[in-house]
């Protein structure tokens, strides 16, 4: 046995795997007979795909989505061999053999990708699994209407392709009243009838809450698994998954007229206790949160951010606390019981997706799992400070 290393990290991101599992079950419960996949792109929105995937696989999830081929290759060892991993970006030219070798299912987004995959199937004299994505209005990924026309007119283009899924993606699903949702669904239905029969998928997290007509055969939630609110203006039915605690580097007392931070834009109107935390914009804490009054918390006490956000630090007005309450190394909540990811994002003028997925590589990540029956979280493995 050797003595434990001191914690060298400036902040700890605690990821509650049990909450992610509960959220997946909540979504699956909403879906009735529709299967529930899990989207693990961008390292499970920054929370650790290698840790999230086995938990969801054990809960019964059999279908995972990533964005890049490399993400699929990295994920493969962490899910059962029989689980399907679909790659949303499909195939870059020349990557077909690599996708096949790693048992990854491309989401084919263009005629060119369809042709390349079908050609590999011919060479291998086999049928190869694929999803086909249709552009129903986002103009981002998937077959354009003219490409669908070509495939509908020349169905042999799909020869050799085992069509596992026909899918599309909604642009406005978090706004239940937006007429674009129904419009995209209609286009999806019309397009599907022109293709060979295959299971269908349209719903991301938010669309699960648009009702059963959006569910089809498979839903593809990401954000909701990680605790983000699926519907704008509605209560969030999901558990919060992350807690972010940053360390105090040092504290000081400043006098009336003293300034804080780059640009000297904050000036104290009286004596203030200032605490510097070891998190900055290089860690994904948005620079736009400078001068906004956004608060960190020690227990229930709000400590407003004052001054600009630096690359490696932020400064708090800790005057509400008694002397000595904050010491070097003390952990202060940036996301926690008083502040959700969505709340922080709103103050920064962005969305929770961006906050989560940009959390810094410098954070220590602790994955905990509050087993369903247990009353308090059990630490299953400590993150390794890197």
Question: What does the binding site for ligand PLP look like in residue numbers (CB under 6 A)?
Answer: 39, 41, 88, 169, 204-206, 220-224
Considering the complex, state which of residue 106 and residue 221 has its C-beta at the smaller distance from ligand PLP.
221
CB closer to ligand PLP, 184 vs 206: 206
Nearest residue (CB) to ligand PLP, 136 versus 315: 136
Q: How far is the CB of 158 from ligand PLP (least distance, A)?
A: 21
Label each residue of 273-293 as H, E or C: EEEEECCCHHHCCCHHHCCCC
Active site residues: 41, 262
Nearer to ligand PLP, 181 or 251 (CB): 181
* E-only strand ranges, the chain: 11-16, 35-36, 38-39, 63-66, 84-87, 105-108, 128-133, 161-167, 200-201, 218-219, 242-254, 259-260, 266-267, 272-277, 295-298, 301-306, 314-317, 331-335, 364-369, 378-381
Contact 115, 132 (CB under 8 A): no
DSSP 93: T
Residue list, annotated binding site: 140, 311
Q: How far apart (Å, rounded) are the C-alpha atoms in residues 258 and 37?
A: 54
* Closest C-alpha among 246, 247, 232 to residue 342: 232
For helices 49-59 and 17-31, the axis angle rounded to 10 degrees is: 50
């Amino acid at each position: 046995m050797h003595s434990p290393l001191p914690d060298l990290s400036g902040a700890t991101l605690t990821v509650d795997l049990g909450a992610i599992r509960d959220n997946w079950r909540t979504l699956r419960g909403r879906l009735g007979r529709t299967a529930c996949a899990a989207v693990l792109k961008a390292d499970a929105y920054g929370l650790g795909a290698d840790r999230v995937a086995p938990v969801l696989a054990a809960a019964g999830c059999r279908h995972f989505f990533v964005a890049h081929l490399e993400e699929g290759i990295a994920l493969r060892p962490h899910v059962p061999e029989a689980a399907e991993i679909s790659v949303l970006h499909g195939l870059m030219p020349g990557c077909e053999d690599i996708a096949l070798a790693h048992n990854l299912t491309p989401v084919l987004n263009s005629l060119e990708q369809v042709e390349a995959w079908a050609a590999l199937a011919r060479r291998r004299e086999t049928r190869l699994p694929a999803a086909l994505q249709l552009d129903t209005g986002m103009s981002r990924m998937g077959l354009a209407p003219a490409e669908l026309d070509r495939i509908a007119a020349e169905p042999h283009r799909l020869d050799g392709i085992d069509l596992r899924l026909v899918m599309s993606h909604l642009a406005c699903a978090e706004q239940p009243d937006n007429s674009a949702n129904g419009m995209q669904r209609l286009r999806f239905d019309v397009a599907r009838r022109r293709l060979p029969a295959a299971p269908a998928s349209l719903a991301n997290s938010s669309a699960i809450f648009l009702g059963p007509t959006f569910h089809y055969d498979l839903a593809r939630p990401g954000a909701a698994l990680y605790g983000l609110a699926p519907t704008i203006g509605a209560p969030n039915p999901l558990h919060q998954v992350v807690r972010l605690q940053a360390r105090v580097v040092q504290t000081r007392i400043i006098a009336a007229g003293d300034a804080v931070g780059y640009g000297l834009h904050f000036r104290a109107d009286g004596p203030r206790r200032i605490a510097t935390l070891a998190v900055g914009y290089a860690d994904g804490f948005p620079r736009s949160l400078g001068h906004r009054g956004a608060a960190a918390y020690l227990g229930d006490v709000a400590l407003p951010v004052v001054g600009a956000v630096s690359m490696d630090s932020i400064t708090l007005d800790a005057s509400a606390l008694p002397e000595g309450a904050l010491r070097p190394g003390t952990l202060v909540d940036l996301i926690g019981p008083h502040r959700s990811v969505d709340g922080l994002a709103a103050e920064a003028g962005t969305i929770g997706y961006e906050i989560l997925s940009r959390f810094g590589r410098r954070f220590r990540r602790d994955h905990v799992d509050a087993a369903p029956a247990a009353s308090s979280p059990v630490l299953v493995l400590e993150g390794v400070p890197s």
